[in-house]
Every structure is written in structure tokens, then in C-alpha cells.
């Protein structure tokens, strides 16, 4: 099939979180399966050097009564299996994309014109296809930044070469929806008489993700459990009625992990390689991690790693809240060393930094560092993810692969990829936090630390079971292909209109 993926992130060109990893790995897996898959992302600052050749210039995109004249460059994603990886188009429009950061100049401060920036990316998708005369079978967009691809397709491609294309939207995180004021409608290029069929209106504003969910032929979430959860008000962020209305078009497909990037046997970002048969390298990585993070070089305490966006989603308030946070209790009463790498909300960053000054067994690095993220996976004994919700989560899968036992909440993709270990340590692959109370985080960490301390042989078997798990992208890419076929069928297209709640 011919597939155009439109995304705000694609590793290693642009990544703020798991979305970047997933888009590139899925693209690669689809290409290995023989599909003609291509990517479209913005040409952010710093990508000029990666822009190998110019494909279209000018590429003029009309949004309402404004015309944006852009240029499109082509590069290839790196791929160790072939010399030419996934073709990737980079949309150049410097007023919008030649800025620091992807969504804002810091993780906590987003650019106010983001809806317009990513509307341009979304609208450019079909203009580009027509210009280069490459007509995909499906457009595949990801999260709110490219959700408008489905909206524009539904409203504006009712005839012509793109009318027969299917459109798929993957929801990686319903917590971010892309809001804009109602009066931005014309700026986004939507005629006011088409607002109802766009699905964009939410109260007295616009909601880009809602529009995408309403208009896409098929909607995918990044784990089966999350597909069920978001139909419930607890996890629906207000969109659960729409998800329920589109229920027969929503499918959960678990993300895979990219073993070209995340394999302790060959990872170029870790000092010592190891595998399930020879764990000596993990021990050495642990020593290096302790040294680099200024922790006592002792084998006794359990090293607990965290690599995370520092937000409420990731359970950071349950750890850090001045009154109820449980991190201090963990640091004071359990034989642990905790290593945190992340960026995010200033309040959480400051709280972690202050605690790190008080507790010698806590080390915090504020920043985004690919190399350190790999070292933490390789050098830790346990990996903590107390997420309030987690559409899929990649780090628990990386942790399993790296022999780092995950301690996770029983939500979303965490529940789909980790299986519970009992007190003997003879079943399962990790430990579950059985609810949202901070004390339940403590209980799960305590159980994991106790097993490691009291029964090292059982802990080693638990680790080995995790390392033997596989989350191959090939299987997920195969499941996506089925969704693409469904989306490209004309009879499923008709039904999206009747199932829209508005
Ligand atoms: P999310 O996409 O919600 O942030 P995931 O678990 O799906 O969560 O993916 C997060 C990805 O981003 C992982 O690859 C993780 O290693 C990476 N990551 C997150 N924060 C950092 C950081 N501060 N430095 C390096 N990598 C990070
Ligand atoms: C999101 C989710 C995360 C998921 C990632 C990739 O950012 O928060 O759970 O793993 O996207 O799909």
C-alpha cells in the first residue's frame, strides 16, 4: 500500500516523547513489510543539514484567505537494514518551524500559534501529494498536531485524485487535544458553514483532536486497553461520548519496540553490552550510572530509574506533592537509590531538585538526554512508572528488555505489556501499583525491593523472564495494515458520517 504518515515528531529528526519513537519505528516496519510508506514532518530548526534534496518549491498552501508558500525537502530515516530508509518529507516554512523546540521553547511553554502551525502541516499533506503526483491509499496522522489531516480530507477532497484515500488517526494521548478559539476557524481554513461536518466545535472553542476523531475513517489507540479506557469518563478527557459513538471504528494496537535502537546487546549508547545469558555488563553499567549521577557506588541498594516527562500524567504529583507525595518516604525508609531524568512542569522540576539536595540517595538530571536515558535503562535494577494513565508507554518495554524490573500502575499499555509478579517471584515480569494513592506506589516499590533483597535468585529469574519478552513492530505493523485496508474501503467510509455524534 501507499501510506503517507503525517506527524509532528519522528526520531531521530524530532522527538519530544514516545510519539517520535513510534512514528519512525512503525514507518520502518511498514517499509520492511513491502509498503511504500513516506513521512511528512516540519523542517524544524536544525534539520537543514538533514535536508538532502528539494522536492517541491514553492509549495503553496491555502488556509482560508491566506496563502503560505513553503518548500518541501526530502531525507531518509536511518535504517541499518537498508541503505535507503523511509523517505521523509520536511516542510519548510521558517516563520512557523525555524524556532527552538517542537511545541514551544520549553517543555512547559507552548507556542500560542501551535494550532495554526500544525494546520499548515496537515493541509500541506494533500497539496504535496498532488504536486508530486503520488497518490497514497491512506493518510495516517498522529495525535492533535496532525488530526486536521482527516478533517481537511473529509471537507475538501470530496472529488479529484485524493477522494478515494482513506484517513487514519492514531491517538497516542487523549490528554492533549489542541484547543483554539472559535474565531480561529477561518485561520485554519474551515468555512463557517462547514463547522458542523468538521466535528471541530467544542463548546465555544475548537478542538483539533475531536475534529480528527470525528472525521477519520479509522481511529487507532496505542494499546487495546487504552481503547477501552477512553470510552470511560475517567480516562476520556471529555471525549468519551465521541469515542463511544465511534466505537466500531476504534481499534487498539500495541506499540512495539525498535530493537535496532533498544537492545542491550548492541546499544551504542551504553558502555557495556550484555544479554540474558551474561549479565556482567549490566552490573558494570550500574556502577557507571552511580558514578555519573554522584551516588554511592554500592551494590546493596536497589537503583530505581525514571525517565519521564515531568507531568501529572506520569504520577509525579503522587511522588512529589509537598503534603502527600511519597518519594521522601521511599528515600527515607527503603534501601534504594533513585535516579530521575526528565523535563516538564517547573513545580515538579524544582521539587525534585530540592529533594535531591536533601537526600544523598536521590539524583536528578533536568534535561533531555538520549544517552543518559539508555544508561538509566541499562544501569537500574527497577524502573518506576506510577502513571495516572498511560496510552502505551515505551519505557516499561525498554526496561523489560534491559533486565530492569518495571514497577507500574495497572493502566493502559502498562497493563497490556507487564504481567504481575507474585510474592515468590516465580511468575510475571514486574510489579503493579494497584491504584492512584501514593501509598500504593510505596507498597509496590517495597515489594520489588524486598524480593531483590530477600530472594536474589527469584529476582534474577524475574528479570530474565522480562528480557525474553518480545514486542515486535512487525506484528503491530501487520495489524495497522489491516486497519489501512479497512479505511481504504469505500463502504466503511460512508459509515463515519452516520456515526458522528454531532
Ligand atoms: P510519553 O510519550 O508519554 O512521554 P513513552 O514512555 O511512550 O512516554 O515514551 C517516552 C520516550 O521519551 C522514551 O523513549 C523515553 O526514553 C524518552 N524520554 C522521555 N523523557 C526523556 C528525557 N528527559 N531524556 C531522554 N529521553 C526521554
Ligand atoms: C504518548 C503516550 C505514551 C505512548 C506514546 C507513544 O505520548 O503518553 O503512553 O507510549 O505516546 O505511542
Task: Identify whether residues 461 and 312 lie together within a single domain.
Answer: yes
- Of 316, 306, 281, 476, the closest CA to residue 396 belongs to 306
Residue 492 confidence (pLDDT): 57
Are 298 and 327 in a shared domain?
yes
Q: Are the C-beta atoms of 343 and 310 separated by less than 8 Å?
A: yes
Both 323 and 385 in one domain: the answer is: yes
478 inside domain: yes
**Domain contains 327:** yes
Q: Domain for residue 345, yes or no?
A: yes
Q: Average pLDDT of each block of 10 consecutive residues along the chain (502 residues)? A: 98 94 96 97 94 92 96 92 90 97 87 98 98 98 98 96 97 97 97 97 97 98 98 98 97 94 96 98 98 97 97 96 91 98 94 97 96 98 98 98 98 98 91 94 97 96 97 96 92 49 38
Question: What's the CA gap between 176 and 97, in Å, rounded?
Answer: 20
Q: Is residue 268 one of the residues assigned to a domain?
A: no
Helix, coil or strand: residue 183: helix
* Amino acid 52: pLDDT: 83
> Do the domain assignments include residue 408?
yes
How many Å lie between the centroid of ligand 1 and the Cα of residue 17?
4
Same-domain status, 481 and 463? no
Say if CB 386 and CB 314 are below 8 A apart.
yes
17 ligand 2 Cβ < 6 A: yes
Domain that holds residue 250: 2-36+113-256+474-498
Mutate to test the pocket of ligand 2, among 7, 8, 16, 18 (most ligand atoms within 8 A of CB): 18
**Quick check: helix, strand or coil at residue 319?**
helix
161 and 30 share one domain: yes
In a domain, 42, yes or no: no
Q: Please tell me whether residues 396 and 479 are part of one structural domain.
A: no
**Alpha carbon of 129 to ligand 1 centroid (Å):** 32
Query: 166 — phi, psi (to 5°)?
Result: -90, 160
Mutational pocket test of ligand 2: of 394, 396, 414, 476, the residue with most ligand atoms within 8 Å of the beta carbon: 394
Ordered strands of the 66-76 beta sheet: 53-63, 66-76, 87-92, 36-42, 2-6, 138-142, 166-171, 218-221, 250-252
> What pLDDT, on the 0 to 100 scale, is given for residue 307?
98
Give the number of domains in the chain: 2
Domain with residue 384: its CATH number is 3.40.50.2000
Nearest atom of ligand 2 to the alpha carbon of 19: 6
Residues 202 and 287 in one domain: no
The count of residues in the chain is 502
Closest to 341 in 3D by CA, of 367, 304, 303, 312: 367
Residue nearest to ligand 1 atom 9, measured at CA: 18
Q: Assign residue 412 a region: left if phi > 0, alpha if psi is -120 to 50, beta otherwise?
A: left
Query: Grid coordinates standing for 70?
Result: 513553503
Both 248 and 309 in one domain: the answer is no
DSSP letters along 199-238, please? T-EETTEEEHHHHHHHH-SEEEESSHHHHHHTTSHHHHTT
Indicate whether 78 belongs to any domain: no
127 CA → ligand 2 middle, Å: 29
Question: Is residue 235 located within the same domain as residue 375?
Answer: no
Q: pTM (2 decimals)?
A: 0.94
Same domain, 432 and 493: no
| 463 and 490 fall within a common domain | no
- State which ligand 2 atom lies nearest to the alpha carbon of 393: 10
Cis bond leading into 380, ω under 30°? no
Quote the pLDDT of residue 501. Answer: 40
Judge if the upstream peptide bond of residue 87 is cis by omega within 30 degrees of 0: no
Domain-located, residue 361: yes
Residues 296 and 175 grouped into a single domain: no
Distances (CA, A) of 282 to 26, 194, 292, 377, 484: 29, 58, 15, 10, 41
The CA 495 to ligand 1 mean position distance, Å, reads: 36
Amino acid at each position: 500500500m501507499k501510506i503517507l504518515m503525517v506527524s509532528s515528531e519522528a526520531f531521530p529528526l524530532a522527538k519530544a516523547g514516545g510519539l517520535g519513537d513510534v512514528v519512525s519505528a512503525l514507518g520502518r516496519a511498514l517499509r520492511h513489510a513491502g509498503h511504500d510508506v513516506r513521512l511528512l514532518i516540519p523542517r524544524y530548526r536544525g534539520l537543514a543539514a538533514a535536508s538532502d534534496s528539494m522536492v517541491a518549491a514553492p509549495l503553496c498552501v491555502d488556509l482560508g484567505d491566506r496563502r503560505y508558500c513553503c518548500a518541501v525537502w526530502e531525507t531518509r530515516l536511518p535504517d541499518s537494514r537498508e541503505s535507503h530508509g523511509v523517505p521523509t518529507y520536511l516542510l519548510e516554512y521558517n516563520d512557523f518551524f525555524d524556532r527552538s523546540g517542537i511545541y514551544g521553547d520549553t517543555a512547559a511553554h507552548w507556542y500560542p500559534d501551535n494550532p495554526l502551525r500544525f494546520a499548515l502541516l496537515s493541509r500541506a499533506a494533500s497539496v504535496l501529494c498532488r504536486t508530486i503526483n503520488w497518490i497514497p491509499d491512506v493518510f495516517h496522522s498522529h495525535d492533535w498536531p496532525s488530526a486536521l489531516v482527516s478533517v481537511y480530507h473529509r471537507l475538501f477532497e470530496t472529488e479529484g485524485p485524493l477522494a478515494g484515500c482513506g484517513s487514519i488517526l492514531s491517538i497516542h494521548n487523549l490528554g492533549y487535544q489542541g484547543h483554539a478559539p472559535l474565531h480561529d476557524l477561518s485561520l485554519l481554513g474551515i468555512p463557517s458553514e462547514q463547522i458542523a461536518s468538521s466535528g471541530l466545535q467544542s463548546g465555544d472553542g475548537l478542538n483539533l483532536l475531536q475534529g480528527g476523531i470525528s472525521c477519520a475513517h479509522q481511529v487507532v489507540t496505542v494499546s487495546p486497553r487504552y481503547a477501552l479506557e477512553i470510552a470511560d469518563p475517567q480516562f476520556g478527557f471529555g471525549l468519551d461520548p465521541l469515542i463511544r459513538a465511534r466505537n466500531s471504528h476504534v481499534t487498539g494496537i500495541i506499540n512495539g519496540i525498535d530493537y535496532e535502537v533498544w537492545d542491550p546487546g548492541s546499544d551504542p549508547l551504553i558502555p557495556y553490552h550484555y544479554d540474558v545469558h551474561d549479565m556482567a555488563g549490566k552490573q558494570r553499567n550500574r556502577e557507571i550510572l552511580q558514578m555519573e549521577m554522584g551516588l554511592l557506588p554500592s551494590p546493596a541498594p536497589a537503583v530505581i530509574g525514571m525517565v519521564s516527562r515531568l507531568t501529572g500524567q506520569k504520577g509525579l504529583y503522587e511522588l512529589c506533592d509537598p503534603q502527600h507525595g511519597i518519594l521522601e518516604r521511599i528515600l527515607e525508609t527503603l534501601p534504594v537509590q533513585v535516579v530521575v531524568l526528565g523535563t516538564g512542569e517547573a513545580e515538579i522540576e524544582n521539587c525534585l531538585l530540592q529533594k535531591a539536595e536533601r537526600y544523598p540517595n536521590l539524583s536528578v538530571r533536568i534535561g533531555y538526554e538520549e544517552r543518559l536515558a539508555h544508561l538509566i535503562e541499562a544501569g537500574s535494577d527497577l524502573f518506576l512508572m506510577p502513571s495516572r494513565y498511560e496510552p502505551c508507554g515505551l519505557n516499561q518495554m525498554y526496561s523489560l528488555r534491559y533486565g530492569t524490573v518495571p514497577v507500574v500502575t495497572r493502566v493502559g499499555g502498562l497493563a497490556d505489556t507487564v504481567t504481575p509478579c507474585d510474592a515468590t517471584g516465580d511468575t510475571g515480569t514486574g510489579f503493579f501499583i494497584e491504584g492512584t494513592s501514593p501509598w500504593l506506589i510505596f507498597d509496590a516499590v517495597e515489594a520489588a525491593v524486598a524480593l531483590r533483597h530477600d530472594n536474589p535468585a527469584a529476582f534474577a529469574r524475574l528479570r530474565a523472564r522480562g528480557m525474553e519478552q518480545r514486542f515486535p513492530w512487525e506484528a503491530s505493523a501487520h495489524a495497522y495494515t489491516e486497519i489501512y485496508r479497512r479505511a481504504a474501503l469505500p463502504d466503511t467510509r460512508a459509515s463515519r458520517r452516520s456515526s458522528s455524534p454531532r
